Every structure is written in C-alpha cells, then in structure tokens.
Amino acid sequence: MAPPRPSPAARLLREYGWDLLLGSIAAFYAVMVPYTKVEESFNVPVPVNVMEKD
C-alpha cells in the first residue's frame, strides 16, 4: 500500500518553509523600520539639532 500523498499546503511548507519564514521577517522589518527613531535611541546628539541650538 502506498503512503498517503501530502496535501498541497504541507508540500508548500516543506519546500519553501524557511524562505517564507525569512521573507516574512524581512517584510515585517521593512514595514516597521520607518516608525523607529534611530537618532533618539542613542545618547549622541544629531548635528542638525546641535546647529539649531546656536
């Protein structure tokens, strides 16, 4: 008796599982990056802010 055939979803995950996982992480990162404040996350003042104070 032949083993049962895997479903299309199971076959898709087996073939592209890591690609889908890493691609979804990259897409999430690309969407969320514009909402981060990089210059305020460090204790170094941004040169534009220093020039405005004078």
Token couple for 12? 């898709």
- Dig out the tokens for 46 from the structure: 């941004």
Q: What is the amino acid identity at position 28?
A: F
Give the residue carrying structure tokens 């055939």: 5
pLDDT digits (tens, 9 = 90+) for 2-32: 888 888 888 888 888 889 999 999 999 998 8
Strand runs labelled E in the chain: none
Its pTM stands at 0.49
Query: What is the rounded distance in angstroms from the CA atom of residue 48 to the CA atom of residue 43?
Result: 15
Q: 31 versus 54: which is more confidently predicted?
A: 31
pLDDT, position 10: 87
What confidence category does residue 51 fall into, taking pLDDT thresholds of 50, 70 and 90?
A: low
